[in-house]
Structure 1
């Protein structure tokens, strides 16, 4: 490889206001053994002009792509140009704890293929003032309680669970490694690409990249310590979901390739929503890694129940896919959809109760008037230092 320990890959498009701050924040790290790979597919040259005028840092690898790219293509170019021993990907509105370099050193020393930090810190940019639960306002950094420990998980068991949930719970779960908000050996990613032809067989790079990498990972660790700060802005996917804009016709989604739309599995309703994007990505990725056993046991009733609960207006698409999938066993599988729907009601109730409990009795810290992700990074580092927290204390029992 080289002496680059970590490649931090950030695909970006038409979000210069966030990308500038994110780039500067990461290049402020005191470490020199990393590279920041920025793949810019913006319609205009605003970010390019700003970088050429303001940045002179050999750690930055800036790649300008003028031709139209899907989100998957943008991610793939970033991975293909990563030269570090380990790779992580993140958004241009996200934050990063510099201690990630210490985590990578430890992973290399212990021959660990992948490390996924738990979601502990999240930041709401000031331009996103209304979330779906009406409990958070823009300019807020939240730091949840964490346990300062790590554990090793069996990736094979994780893939079995993914087949049951259709990948729809991966955002809040850690049963398989993550390439987005996670760290994976570059050798693993290159082997997967060589054998499959892509690191991202599905329309969601987050999920499909995680599944494909999991097929080649032996030693996987989850750490309960804040490494990434998940950012939400008005232009982000999280922002679109919170503002209920993350749904619609597949043909209207320019960031999804025409080939993906044409080859969309008939068992999954051909609409654009969180549920269909994640389930399509999981399904296509399991096929790509030749896990026919998990494809055969894929829990389609879970998808239909989720859509009926959260995107009820698309019920005709759900019925069409249901009849295609279960034409020989309609009654039995109607019952399975009903069971999944009831389970979703209970999970939803549990989620709301936990939210209320955390709102009034939770131990999460909230910092307001945080104007950008760099300030959020500094506030997190300040919090960790003030409380004598350190990644090395966890990893080496210091």
Structure 2
């Protein structure tokens, strides 16, 4: 592979960097703007730009925000070390000692992990052990020791133990400040964990892995006890000396549970034969959830490695779920948070209600024929017209329209969604405000549980339903009343004001119907969904022939309970539609498709799916991650080890692969499907679907390259030899048709002189 142009690109940026002290700001900005037209924009460009911003005396927080998401520090690739060093310097300027040291530790840890270089991280880890040993012998935790240990946990990336010990210290000595909590509480599901720490009730299980984490786990249990929690500790496994009877092994573990100083301890036994390995951790979790809790749900603290390993075991799916994200496999020995047990109790916590209330909603009897369900967030004027299509139905029976408003909780006054519902003043419209900021998937789940119709159909706030759809669906359902799922064709509508970035043709509304509509022409056919699902690996459009439970299909209300009983979850994946389609395709033997059009799929500027599939081309654009940040705190699916093989990178086909791994993670997709999958072809499809003009292109490609290293080392070799040059070869972006493509040197000139 010829790297000449790539080396030249980086040489140009390094040349600009060397001239930072000597050239005036305007000249440097002009040069960097020219370099920005060379795509893809690499991490080095952002580092040079950040240093220029520092020279311009821009606020440090602004520079840190500018650099966010531009680097994926899960392994050492070009300029990651420089990124971490710069972030440490910026934190130092800001006066944030903990962040300064955290970035340095992260760099030292990566050098040790990937280069074998002994670094300063060992000193910090030894100091943590010393402090843990001191605290172990204290009956009353001292303020200074707690604070010092919490700070070292923070620096070493053990942030969930940091949050635990900071909470204990705050409860005991209310004067302590909540240092560095904000960014941690914004991470996936951390607010859920924090609520479990600070609410009065709750059962925690702390699981030790080896002698290395004995101390931190023992102390975590004591910290949880200090917060008034019911705590169980599963000791590290010891070999079972009895016979190989599995039931005897489990019974011995359960009988070993004993209380010491207000904490329940249990022995974990393992049995290792030539053909298999088993231990009793899973059986103990089941026992504790059943006998040691009121709602069958426990919060789990264990190393990220152990939670991932246990969650992949067949008997653990999907009752054990990792809740906190991985910040890199080299940090996976740190404590992560999970949940084990009853899913309905889990979502009851999210919806601020009880397991019993959720069960009642899931199994309640219908009170009307149809429910049209519209989960929305910050809905615009399109919702008004969506609702009008729902109201203008020829169906004469009883139906309802459920609107679940997930607008930000800090919205002052009446939300736009509420005002639109009020404008229409129709008793069919039932408005619900979500109890907190929910993820997209959880808003769908919440809305479905509110519905009382016999047949349920959902759609977005920019979609529509044809006037005679309910009438004709009613006729079809009456002829085959026991069939739980129906699919149909959908038309497509582009709203006139859609940004060209999402779809060309701004200013023009477009309606497309792939098949002709014939009123009353409702012939249907039956098919096995598994073949369609397998075809979707290489043909994404096959997804439209699987039930997404979102504007292309509907279900009998009783199927919600069936789905829960078959899979153990409801809307628990990364997307509200594709995850559901993949799951149902693998748990149902037959589906029914109506050869007619009943609904209209819309695309507008607020369409989350459309926005997620396009990258940001300009630095001033607000990313979807930033827009959705407030929804991260509760109920998101966090990828386990296998699911991290396909990270979410704003690729349609990549999103499908992530959903397939999710469905495997809950036990719906069998192992054989992944064993037969051509991962190289899958990675190639995703990589070639990425947009080179996306400002996060560099980070997304490296996230995928790292995922390949988790899958197979030969995939990394294939990527480096065949894909690296294709993806990263610098290209000038022609902004105007009359511009001619020039060399890289032509772009980096000021007043005709090459810098």
* TM score, norm. by length of structure 2: 0.40
- In structure 2, the CA distance between the partners of 1:177 and 1:333, relative to structure 1 (3 Å rule), is farther
Q: Deviations over 1:157-189 (max 9, x none)?
A: 233334x34xx715x544422311211222222
Q: What is residue 178 of structure 1 aligned with on the other side?
A: 548
C-alpha distance in 2, partners of 1:189/1:160?
24
Contact 1:87 1:186 in 2 (8 A): yes
> C-alpha displacement at 1:11, in angstroms?
0.3
Say if 1:86 and 1:184, in contact at 8 Å, map to a contact too: yes
Q: Equivalent residue of 1:225, what SS?
A: strand
SS in 2 for 1:118: strand
Distance 1:245 1:298 in 2: 31
Provide the rounded CA distance (Å) in 1 between the counterparts of 2:628 and 2:677: 26
**1:127: Cα distance to partner?**
1.6
**Aligned residue among 402, 422, 430 for 1:37:** 402
Q: State the shift of 1:234 in Å.
A: 0.9
1:271 positional shift: 3.6
141-150 vs 98-107, greater mean Cα deviation = 141-150
Q: CA deviation at 1:236?
A: 0.8
Range with bigger deviation, 247-256 or 220-229? 247-256
Cα distance, 1:332–1:99 mapped onto 2, change above 3 Å: farther
3-state secondary structure, aligned to 1:11: strand
Classify the secondary structure of the residue corresponding to 2:368.
Answer: coil
How far apart in 2 are the matches of 1:94 and 1:133? 16
Q: State yes or no: 1:300 paired with 2:679.
A: yes
**Distance of 1:201 and 1:296 partners within structure 2:** 24
1:284 aligns with 2:662: yes
Query: Residues 132, 68 of structure 1: CA spacing in aligned structure 2 closer, same or farther, 3 A cutoff?
Result: closer
Match of residue 13 from structure 1: 377
Pair 1:156–1:322, CA change in 2 (3 A): same
2:492 corresponds to: 122
Pick closer, same or farther for the CA change 1:273–1:97 going to 2, 3 Å: same
Q: 2:512 aligns with which of 133, 142, 145?
A: 142
Which residue of structure 2 lines up, in the alignment, with residue 74 of structure 1?
443
Query: How do residues 179-194 of structure 1 correspond to structure 2 at under 5 angstroms?
Result: 179-181=549-551, 182-194=553-565
Within-5 A mapping of 1:1-398 = 1-2=365-366, 4-31=368-395, 32-43=397-408, 44=411, 45-46=414-415, 47-52=417-422, 54-57=424-427, 59-101=428-470, 102-110=472-480, 111-119=482-490, 121-130=491-500, 134=504, 137-146=507-516, 149-162=523-536, 164-165=537-538, 169-170=540-541, 173-181=543-551, 182-240=553-611, 244-245=615-616, 253-254=628-629, 255-256=631-632, 259-261=636-638, 263=640, 265-269=643-647, 271-288=649-666, 289=668, 291-311=670-690, 313=697, 314-327=700-713, 329-330=714-715
Deviations 1:67-118 (A, max 9, x none): 1111011000112122222222110100101332222431342233322222
Aligned length: 331
Q: Is the 8 A contact 1:117 1:226 kept in 2?
A: yes
Q: Which residue of 2 aligns with 1:345?
A: none
Q: CA deviation at 1:137?
A: 4.7
Q: Is the 8 A contact 1:114 1:184 kept in 2?
A: yes
Partners of 2:685 and 2:633 in 1: how far apart? 25
Give the drift of 1:6. 2.2
Show CA shifts across 1:249-303 (max 9, x none): 9687424567534647221135444344332222112332252322433443344
Matched residues in 2 for 1:229 and 1:128: separation? 16
Q: Secondary structure, in 3 states, of the residue corresponding to 1:235?
A: coil
Structure 1: give runs of 5+ residues left out of the alignment. Answer: 342-398
1 or 2 for the larger relative contact order (CA 8 Å, sep ≥6)? 1
Distance of 1:218 and 1:186 partners within structure 2: 19
Asked if the contact 2:497–2:507 (Cα under 8 Å) also holds between the matched residues in 1, the reply is: no
Paired residues of 1:88 and 1:180 also in contact (CA < 8 A): yes
**Deviation at 1:325?**
0.3
Distance (whole Å) between structure 2 residues aligned to residue 143 and residue 176 of structure 1: 18
8 Å CA contact 2:540–2:653 kept in 1: the answer is no
Distance 1:84 1:295, change over 3 A: farther
Cα separation, 2, equivalents of 1:95 and 1:4: 21
- Cα gap change, 1:257 to 1:159, in 2 (>3 Å): farther
Contact 2:651 2:689 (C-alpha < 8 Å) held by counterparts: no
SS at match of 1:179: coil
Distance 1:297 1:5 in 2: 43
Aligned partners of 2:457 and 2:549 also within 8 Å: yes
Which whole-Å CA distance do the structure 1 matches of 2:505 and 2:419 have between them? Answer: 38
2:674 and 2:613 map into 1 onto residues whose CA distance is 31
CA deviation vs aligned residue, 1:342-379 (integer Å, no higher than 9, x gap): xxxxxxxxxxxxxxxxxxxxxxxxxxxxxxxxxxxxxx
Question: Secondary structure in 2 aligned to 1:293?
Answer: helix
| 3-state DSSP of counterpart to 2:701 | helix
The CA deviation at 1:223 is: 2.6
Quote the Cα distance in structure 1 between the aligned partners of 2:540 and 2:561: 27
Q: 1:242 to 1:331 in 2, by over 3 A?
A: closer
Uncovered stretches (5+) of structure 2, i.e. residues with no partner: 1-364, 727-755
After superposition, the Cα gap between the structure-2 partners of 1:132 and 1:125, relative to the gap in structure 1 and judged at 3 Å, is closer
